[in-house]
Amino acid sequence: MSNTEASQAGGAPSRVTLHLGHLPKKTDIKAPWPRTPTRVDPNNPPWPAYRGYHEYSFAHATMQSRLPTILGKAIEDAIRTLNDQAEEERVVDLSESIERMGGLMTDLSGNAKLRPIIDDSEADVALWNKEIAKYFQGKDFMNAPWLFAEAYKYRRLHECFSVSKFWKDYDVFYRQKCDTFSRSADAVFELSMRFAEPFKIAEGLSNQEELEAERLMFLELTQVCLWGNSTDLSLLINMSEEQIKALQSTGGDHLAATEKNILGNDLGRLWETVKELRQKTGGRIDFVLDNAGFELYCDMVYADFLLQSGLANQIRFHGKRFAWFVSDVTRKDWNWLLNTMVYGQLFPKASEEELESLRRLGRRWKQYEKEGKWVYEQHPFWCTGYTYWDLHSEAPDLFFHLSKSDLVIFKGDLNHRKLTYDCAAPASTPFDVAIGPMASAAGAPRIASLRTIKSDVVVGLGSEGDDVAEKLDETEPGWKISGKYAVVLLSDGRPGEKVRFA
């Protein structure tokens, strides 16, 4: 007998309906955030990821329009270079790179699936392809987490050149980076005129007064270094000279006013930390750099002071191996800045006095490099799609290396996104919780993040932080992308547990 026949004959009914009226009422069950660390992976951050299709987030504007615009400008740059070439082999080779950029544009604007990176024998290929194979198979530019999709686009852009014969290291943003520095004259000379003369404390002061003078200088220069991050080319593509000037104003009054825009402010704790370093006859401080040109120049002014005041005895700078997020520092940008300061003719309107102050700074900084007091490095991990939660597992050599540092200063917005897994953590989340293993793993160094806020993730605003963020959402809807606000956050560090590697 069939089911139907059975039910017609009074057997089991064909459709069963359960009556659940006697059970407890349906409640609003909230997803448990943050995820337990064992369930966290690049596609599943501790709090919900931002993805390109989230129209409420900056991810959407970036993936939908900013990245295609940036790529369009990059193509224009390569064409400009192409038109200057004479040798056939080089011309053909470059036009093939330009064709590949066209292919990337089609993929990006057509929201193609993320394919593996072509093996161009570079050190990061395995890292990229492992991450794609494990977490992003079948994902596209819009539904992969924003951080990964955006980083992937810059690696694909690099691939357009890395597989070529003559143009492997071509940087499509180089012209732009140099040009913005050349348009930053006012702020450049304001700093060089003040700091060309080696830092000296006025004579006749008591120990207490000396320390206070140093503390004030430290706070001022930390802010110079911080706000140097607001002039980022990826956001300011069409900025006028006047607008750049307003953003780069570094005067004392200006800085006092801007301190109130530092929403999570560990400046005081940072000073206490570096002060302790001097008692150990100066420590090693690392900078994980962000942008070239003016921001790098501010970082160097700050690093110079840290050395001269004996707070540090060595500074290690970490840059990128190839053109990254438009304005990030590469070895070429580093060299360019130092050499243009000493030998360049970038500022035709500057006075001889101003130019000499810049040359003096440049010569001193080049000398630091020769003496090994400043060291420039570029590990492949910095240009991958991994966040820094995976630094100890995916780049253990780099993690060990950083473990030896007394303080690692991460500059800028992207580094902050990578420290915090770029996810929707509440603004009150303590920094140590948001950066996970970078605070808790054995051997994790002391971490500071100096970042002007230019994207969605905001943490470390203290116990009232959720209210602060909510109020700003209501009163200043663009506050997370304007670069007007900032954070200076410091991890707790556990010196007792600090592992020292020989």
Interface stretch with ligand F6P, choices 240-248, 297-305, 402-410, 412-420 (CB under 6 A): 412-420
**CA-wise closest residue to 217 among 195, 197, 186:** 195
Provide the minimum distance between the beta carbon of 27 and ligand F6P in the complex, in angstroms, as a whole number. Answer: 37
Size of residue set near Mg ion by CB under 5 A: 5
**Residue 234 makes contact with ligand F6P by CB under 6 A:** yes
Provide the minimum distance between the beta carbon of 68 and ligand F6P in the complex, in angstroms, as a whole number. Answer: 12
**Residue 220 makes contact with Mg ion by CB under 5 A:** no
Length of the chain in terms of residues written? 502
**Residue 226 makes contact with ligand F6P by CB under 6 A:** no
Tokens 């994980």, residue located: 288
Rg (the chain; Cα; Å) = 26
Residue 235 binds: one of ligand F6P, Mg ion, none (C-beta under 5 to 8 A by kind):
ligand F6P
Residues 302-341 that bind Mg ion (CB under 5 A): 325, 327-328
8 A C-beta contact, residue 52 and residue 59: yes
Residues 315-374 that bind ligand F6P (CB under 6 A): 325, 327
8 A C-beta contact, residue 455 and residue 481: yes
What is the CA 91 to chain-centroid distance, rounded? 34
Nearest to Mg ion of 290, 456 (CB atom): 290
**Residue 229 makes contact with ligand F6P by CB under 6 A:** yes
Convert 54-65 to b/e letters by CB count within 10 Å (16 or more is b). beebbbbebbbe
Tokens 């440049």, residue located: 362
Interface stretch with ligand F6P, choices 128-136, 219-227, 231-239, 256-264 (CB under 6 A): 231-239
CA dihedral 337, 339, 340, 344 (to 10 degrees): 180
Largest CA-CA distance found in the chain, in angstroms, rounded: 109
**Helix 185-195 and helix 241-248: axis angle, to 10°?**
30
Provide the minimum distance between the beta carbon of 230 and Mg ion in the complex, in angstroms, as a whole number. Answer: 11
Q: What is the DSSP string of 52-106?
A: TT-TTSHHHHIIIIIHHHHHHHHHHHHHHHHTT---HHHHHHHHHHHHHHHHHHH
Nearest to ligand F6P of 354, 413 (CB atom): 413
Q: Which 3 state secondary structure label does DSSP give 211?
A: helix
Provide the minimum distance between the beta carbon of 62 and ligand F6P in the complex, in angstroms, as a whole number. Answer: 5
**Residue 299 makes contact with ligand F6P by CB under 6 A:** no
**Residue 171 makes contact with Mg ion by CB under 5 A:** no
Nearest to Mg ion of 328, 390 (CB atom): 328
**Residue 412 makes contact with ligand F6P by CB under 6 A:** yes
Residue 455 binds: one of Mg ion, ligand F6P, none (C-beta under 5 to 8 A by kind):
ligand F6P
**Residue 454 makes contact with ligand F6P by CB under 6 A:** yes
Structure tokens at 269: 């704790």
**Residue 287 makes contact with Mg ion by CB under 5 A:** no
Structure tokens at 352: 């001889």
Would you tell me which residues interact with ligand F6P (CB under 6 A)?
A: 62, 150, 229, 232, 234-235, 290-291, 325, 327, 412-414, 417, 454-455
